[in-house]
Structure 1
Amino acid sequence: MFFLFKYVDDLIGKGFEWYTILELMYYQSMVQISMALPLSVLLSSIMTFGTLGENYELVAIKSAGISLQKAMRPLMVLILLLTVSSFLFSNFILPKANLKFYSLMYDMRNKKLAFLIKPGVFNNSIPDYSIRVDRKDESGKMNGIMIYDHKGTNGIPKVIMAKEGEMVKSSDGKFLVFNLKNGVTYEEQASSTGIYNPRQVMLRSRFKETKPKFDMKSFDLSKTDQNAFGNSTVMLNLKGIVKKRDSLQKQMDTLNRNMARTLSNNFKQSNIALGYTKVKVPRKAIGNNILKGIPNGFRLQSIQNAANTVSVITQSLTNGVPRQEDLSGEIIFTSVEYQRKFTLAASCILLFFIGAPLGAIIRKGGMGLPVVIAIVFFLVYHIITTVAEKSAREGSINPIFGMWIAFILLTPLAVFLTYKATVDSALFDVNYYKQFFIKLLRIKQR
C-alpha cells in the first residue's frame, strides 16, 4: 500500500506490463524490510510469550526451576542469527535492491504517456507528428482528424485532414496504424534550387481511405545503465560509503582552503614591500572615522576600492557557500546511511527484549491485545527514529547520536520490562490496579 500510494502517479496511464510493475514492487518490498523486520520481531515475541503465559506454560517452566532468562536463550540465539542476517542484508542485498529499484523507476518515469488522444488538443507523443481530433466516441472512432507530419519535410509540414478514422496496433505491435477515411492531404514542395520562392508548388490530393503508420519505438521502456546510479549513497555498502565520505571530505577541505585563501587576500594590508625594506614605520592608530586618516584626494578612491573588495567577497561567498552546504549535507547523509546498516540489526535485539517480557507480563496471545501493544511500541520507536534522523540530516544533532537515540532511549525500558517479567510483576494486570484503587478508597473513607 505504501508503494502504491507513493508511486501510483508514475505508473498510471503508461501501458506497463504486469510483470514490470510486479518487479518494481518486489524491489520495493526489499526496501521496506527495514520497517517490517523490527515490527515482526516485536509482534512475534509478544505473541509467543503471551501465548505461553496465557496457557500457564511459563508457570510450569518457572516451577521446574527454569528462569525466564534461561527460557529465552533459544530465542535469543535465533534473534542473534536474525540480527547478523539483517546486517548482511543491509550491507550487501539492500544496496543492490535500491540500485535496481531506482534505475527501473527512473526508466518508468521517463517513459512517455500511453497514446491517449484527447478531443480538441494537439498530441505530440509521437516524434515528428502532431495530431488533433474534434470528437472521439467510446468505441475509439474519431471525427475531424488533423495530422501535421514534420518527418523529412525540411521544416515544411505535410498536413493530413480526414473526416473520420480509428487507431489500431499492427499485428507485431511495432507500429500504430491510423485508418483514415474521406480526407485530403496538403503538401508544399520545397524549392529545388534551395532559394526561397514565394510561388511554391502546393500539392493537394484527396483520398477515400489511407493507413499511415507510426513507429512505436518511442513508447518502449528503455533500460538505463545501472552504473549511472551506482554512486548514490543508498546503493553502497559500508566500504563504498566510507570511500565516498572520504572523497566528499577531501572536496570539502579543498573548497574551504580555496575560500579561505580568497577571502584572506582581501583582508590583508598592502604587503608589496614586505621583506624588501628595513625601514620601520610606527603603527598608526585608526579611530572610528577611518576617512579622516585618508587624504582628501584619495577618499573617493578608497571608498571605491573598499566597495570592490566587498563585492569580490560577496561574489566569492555566493559561489562557494551553496556548494559547501551541498557537500556538508552529503557528508551527513553518508554518516546516516553508514549507521543505518547497524541500527536495523540492533533494533531486532532491542524490540525482542521489549516484546518477550511484555508477552510474559500481559499473558495474552493471538492477534488481539498483542497486536495493539506491538503497534504502540513500534510507533514510539519509529517516531523517535524518524524525527532524530531528520534532525541529523538537517545538521541539528550528531548523525551517530541521531541514528542511535531510539536505541538509547528504549534500552532502559527493555531492561525494566525484563526485570518486571522475571519477578512476575502484575504490571498490566487490570485486577491488580482495581484492587489497589478499592483499598485506596477504603482508606480514604476511614
Structure 2
Amino acid sequence: MLKYFDEIFGKGLAFSVYMELIGYFVISISPMALPLAVLLSSLMTFGNLGEHFELTAIKSSGISLLRALRPIGIFVFFLAIGAYLSNNYLVPKVNLKTFGLLYDIRMKSPALDIKEGVFYNGIPNYSIKVNRKLDEVRLQDVIIYDHSEGQGNIGIILADSGRMEPFFNDSYMSLTLYHGYNYKESRGQRGIMEKPVDFSRTKFSENQIIFNLESFQLNRTPEDLWSTNRSIKNIAGLRMGLDSLASEINQITYLNYLNTESSYPYFARERKLTPPKDISERKRTDDSIRALKTLEQERRDRELTRRKDSITVNGSGALDSLAISVMSETQDQALASLDSDLSQRSDGGFDPNALIEKRKKLMDDVQDPAASDSGNDSSLAKPTFPVQVQKEIPQRVFSPEKKAWMDSMIVAGNYKTRAATVALNNARTLKNNFSNKLSQIDNLEREYRRYQIAWYQKYTSAFACIVMFMIGAPLGAIIKKGGLGMPVLISIIFFIVYYMLTITGEKWVKEGLTDPFLGTAFSNLMLLPFGLFFLRQARKDARLFEPETYTEGVKKLINWFKSKFS
C-alpha cells in the first residue's frame, strides 16, 4: 500500500473502504506471509521450551525430539493443505476484488477541498479561487475561470460573496454567487484584416452555477475487465491460459512456414517449406476444437431461434414452426454424426478442412431445402459452362547469337546492379519481418512461462510452510531462546534468503534458463537441506550457537598443530 500511498489517501473516502482494501491486501499477501509466520512461531515455541528446560524434561522421560515434533508437524501439514486451497480458490478471488477496488480508488478525484487564496483545479473545466472562507458554505471574494469551451481564459466571473452547497448525494454542487460581473471575450483568428473581437461584460446580483461531481464519486469497475490477469486465476484458469498461449504460438509458427515459402521463389521451385509434424498436428487439433465450438454455438443459436418461432401458434406460423422443427431435428442428427467424426481426431485420420466443408454443405442444404430435393429435376439444375482447355505453350529455343545479344543488353542496361539492389532490399525486408515475428513469439513464450510460474506457485508456497517448520522447530530447540529477540532476527534472515532465492528462480524461468518447476521450487530445494541438518543436530543436542563449541574446536586444532610440528 505504500507504493500507492499518494494515490489512495486524501480522496475523502469512508473508513470502511480503506478497511476493506486493507483486508484484501492481508489475504493477498498470505501466500508469502504464511511461511514466515510458521518459521517465526515454531522458533518462538521451541525456543521457549528449550529456554525453560522443558525439552530436557521431555527427553528425560523417554520421548524423542521427533516424537515431540510430530503433533505440531501434523498440524503444519494440514496447514499446508489449507494454504494450497487458499492459494487456488480464495486468493484469486480476493486479488480480483483488490485490483478492482485499488483501481477505482486511484481513478477517483481528490476530495473537494477549496483553500483560501489558492486556485483549485479539481473540478473539470473550471479554476476557482476563494480569498476568504467564512465556513464550509459561505465564501467571500470569489474568482472563477471558465475553460469549458477549451479556448483559454476567455471567460471569468468575479463575485463579492457566494454559497457552496452540495446536493443529490454529493453528486452535484450548487455555487450561488452574489453581486459580481461576468466577463467574456470571443476568440478570433487574429488576422491582420480581421475586425476586433467581441467583448461582453454582464453585471448580476445573483448567479447560480451547477457543477457535476461524478468524478469525485467512487465508481466500481466491472470485474470482467480483470479476467485476463494471471493473479486472479486458479489452476484450471491457468491451464486454459497456457493452452491458449500455446495455440497462439503454434498458429504464428505455422503461418510463418506457409508465408516464408513465397519469399523464396527460387528455393520453392524444387523444394517445399513444410511445417514440422508436431506443429501440423497441433494446428489440426486446434482447428478441430475450434470447429467443435462453432458447431456448438450454432446449435445454441438454432435452439434459441426454435424457441422464438414456437411462440407463433396461429395460422401459417404453426406450420412454419413445425417445418423449422423438422429441419432442425434433421440438422441435429447430421451434426451429431459430425461430432462423432470429430471425436475420432485422435486416431490421425481426421481432416478438419473436410469437416468444415461438410458442415458448410449441410448448412446450405438446410437453408435451401428445395435445392437438395431437386437433384433429378433438370429445370433446377445449375447451368453448365464450356470448359476452356489451356493449350500447352511450346518452349522457345534461342540461338547462340540471340542469347549473346540478350546478355549484352543485360550488361549494357546495368540490370545486374539493379537486381542486386532489389535482392538486397528484399533481404532486408525479410530480416525485419522475421525479427518482428521472433519478437512476437518471444513475448508470447515469456508470458507462457509466467503462467507456468503462477501455476507452480500454488504448490511451492504451500510446501514452503513445511520447509520453514523443519527449519524453525529444530533451530529453536538448538538456540534455546524464546521471545521476540533472537527468533525474530533469525526468522528475518532466513526469510530474506528464502525471498531472494524465490526471486532468482523465477527470473531464471522467465528468461528460459531452467525448467519452470525447478525454478519455482528453487528456494524450497535450497532450504530443505538446512532443515534436515538442523533436525539432525537437534537430535544430538548440538550446541551450534554457543561460543564454547567453537573455542574448544580452535584449541584442539592448535594443540594438533603443536603436536604435529613440534
3-state DSSP of counterpart to 2:62? coil
Q: Tell me which residue corresponds to 2:497.
A: 380
Which residue identity lines up with residue 334 of structure 1 in the other structure?
Answer: Y
Q: Tell me which residue corresponds to 1:283.
A: none
Task: Select between 158-167 and 251-260 the one with higher mean Cα deviation.
Answer: 158-167
Q: Give the drift of 1:405.
A: 0.9
Q: Tell me which residue corresponds to 2:145.
A: 147
Larger Rg: 2
Contact in 2 for aligned 1:150/1:157 (Cα 8 Å): no
Task: Select between 415-424 and 201-210 the one with higher mean Cα deviation.
Answer: 201-210
Q: Does 1:421 align with 2:538?
A: yes
Q: Tell me which residue corresponds to 2:177.
A: 180
Q: Distance in 2 between matches of 1:416 and 1:156?
A: 75
Unaligned 5+ segments in structure 2 are: 187-194, 273-391, 396-406
Q: Distance in 2 between matches of 1:443 and 1:397?
A: 46
Q: Distance in 2 between matches of 1:138 and 1:374?
A: 56
Q: Tell me which residue corresponds to 2:417.
A: 300
Of residues 81, 84, 107 in structure 2, which corresponds to 1:84?
81
User: What's the TM-score, normalizing by structure 1?
Assistant: 0.83
Q: Give the drift of 1:394.
A: 3.3
Q: Does 1:10 align with 2:21?
A: no
Structure 1 residue ranges (4+ consecutive) displaced by more than 4 angstroms after TM superposition: 116-122, 134-142, 155-159, 163-166, 186-189, 198-204, 270-277, 438-446
Q: Tell me which residue corresponds to 2:512.
A: 395
Of residues 469, 478, 486 in structure 2, which corresponds to 1:361?
478
Which residue identity lines up with residue 180 of structure 1 in the other structure?
Answer: L
- Cα separation, partners in 2 of 1:445 and 1:139, compared to 1, 3 Å: farther
Q: Give the drift of 1:242.
A: 0.6
Q: Distance in 2 between matches of 1:302 and 1:206?
A: 79
- Cα separation, partners in 2 of 1:227 and 1:72, compared to 1, 3 Å: same
Q: Distance in 1 between matches of 2:271 and 2:476?
A: 79
Q: How does 1:420-439 map to 2 (within 5 A)?
A: 420-438=537-555
Q: Tell me which residue corresponds to 1:351.
A: 468
Q: Give the drift of 1:205.
A: 3.0
- Cα separation, partners in 2 of 1:317 and 1:182, compared to 1, 3 Å: farther
Q: Give the drift of 1:345.
A: 0.9
Q: Does 1:335 align with 2:331?
A: no
Q: Does 1:405 align with 2:547?
A: no
Q: Give the drift of 1:435.
A: 3.7
Q: Tell me which residue corresponds to 1:286.
A: none
Unaligned 5+ segments in structure 1 are: 190-197, 280-291
**Identity, % of aligned positions:** 31
Q: Tell me which residue corresponds to 1:263.
A: 260
Q: Distance in 2 between matches of 1:407 and 1:274?
A: 52
Q: Distance in 1 between matches of 2:20 and 2:424?
A: 61
Q: Tell me which residue corresponds to 1:68.
A: 65
Which residue identity lines up with residue 417 of structure 1 in the other structure?
Answer: F
**Residues 406-426 of structure 1: CA distance to partner in whole angstroms, max 9, x if unpaired?**
111111111111111111111
- Cα separation, partners in 2 of 1:13 and 1:54, compared to 1, 3 Å: closer
Contact in 2 for aligned 1:149/1:159 (Cα 8 Å): no
Q: Give the drift of 1:203.
A: 6.2
Q: Distance in 2 between matches of 1:353 and 1:8?
A: 37
User: What's the TM-score, normalizing by structure 2?
Assistant: 0.66
**Residues 351-387 of structure 1: CA distance to partner in whole angstroms, max 9, x if unpaired?**
1001111011111212221221121111111111122
Which residue identity lines up with residue 388 of structure 1 in the other structure?
Answer: G
Of residues 122, 126, 130 in structure 1, which corresponds to 2:126?
130
Q: Give the drift of 1:94.
A: 0.4
Q: Tell me which residue corresponds to 1:225.
A: 222
Q: Distance in 2 between matches of 1:85 and 1:314?
A: 52
Q: Give the drift of 1:349.
A: 0.5
Q: Tell me which residue corresponds to 1:324.
A: 441
Contact in 1 for aligned 2:143/2:156 (Cα 8 Å): no
Q: Give the drift of 1:344.
A: 1.1
**Residues 46-66 of structure 1: CA distance to partner in whole angstroms, max 9, x if unpaired?**
111111212222222222222
Contact in 1 for aligned 2:509/2:519 (Cα 8 Å): yes
- Cα separation, partners in 2 of 1:311 and 1:136, compared to 1, 3 Å: farther
- Cα separation, partners in 2 of 1:356 and 1:229, compared to 1, 3 Å: same
Q: Distance in 1 between matches of 2:132 and 2:535?
A: 70
Which residue identity lines up with residue 214 of structure 1 in the other structure?
Answer: F
3-state DSSP of counterpart to 1:133? strand
Q: Distance in 1 between matches of 2:71 and 2:424?
A: 75
Contact in 2 for aligned 1:259/1:316 (Cα 8 Å): no
Which residue identity lines up with residue 55 of structure 1 in the other structure?
Answer: H
Q: How many residues are matched?
A: 419
Q: Distance in 2 between matches of 1:342 and 1:133?
A: 58
Task: Select between 8-17 and 70-79 the one with higher mean Cα deviation.
Answer: 8-17
Q: Give the drift of 1:32.
A: 1.2
